[in-house]
Amino acid sequence: MKYEDMFHVGIIVPDLESGLAEIAKRFGVTFPDPPPTQGADVLVKTSAGEMQAEVIGVYSAEGPPYLEVIRAIPGTPWEAGEGSRIHHLGAFVDDLDDEVARLTAEGVELEATLDVGGGVMAVSYLNGPLGVRQELLPGHLRDGMLANLRGEGA
């Protein structure tokens, strides 16, 4: 991962609506109004096994770097603990499988993957000894996702 590939900071909040309001007020960013009430139903793979989870994440209009606010989901990698917390630094990588292999060979833990079917990773969460989590996304998603975040996509 290269620093210039980082495009967002993920923040976990216990309540999405109040979390969005506070972050918008404190950091001067805007979010979709009204915020989404349904998220993506994803297959999450962790060392504890597989589970389905409905993930709702909302990106700021301003960026990059964007602020992504994610509704907490108990018992998943999106657990909030008390209050809210910085959850991850998100980046695009040229080859997701290679980057995950490189990082795990260096001793970084692969915490979870979101799969698109057939065992293909769409997103990977990795965490090292300092507790700074990385969310890695495949680089082929970059242009479409950033265009969508700028309001240019479908």
pLDDT at 33 over 80: yes
pLDDT band, very low/low/confident/very high, at 84 (cuts 50, 70, 90): low
What pLDDT, on a 0 to 100 scale, did the predictor assign at position 150? 86
Is residue 39 within 8 A of residue 52, CB to CB? The reply is: no
- Which class for 16: exposed (0-12), middle (13-18), buried (19 or more C-beta within 10 A)? buried
pLDDT band, very low/low/confident/very high, at 61 (cuts 50, 70, 90): very high
pLDDT at 137 over 80: yes
Report residue 154 as tokens: 């479908």
Ordered domains of the chain (ranges, CATH): 3-149 (3.10.180.10)
pTM summary value: 0.76
Distance, in Å, from the CA atom of 87 to the CA atom of 78, rounded to the nearest integer, reads 8
pLDDT band, very low/low/confident/very high, at 101 (cuts 50, 70, 90): very high
What mean pLDDT comes out for the span 79-87? 75
pLDDT at 9 over 70: yes
Among residues 129, 121, 19, the alpha carbon closest in space to that of 68 is found at 19
pLDDT band, very low/low/confident/very high, at 130 (cuts 50, 70, 90): low
Distance, in Å, from the CA atom of 5 to the CA atom of 41, rounded to the nearest integer, reads 26
What mean pLDDT comes out for the span 50-73? 92
pLDDT, greater one: 119 or 52 = 52
On average, the pLDDT of the chain sits at 87
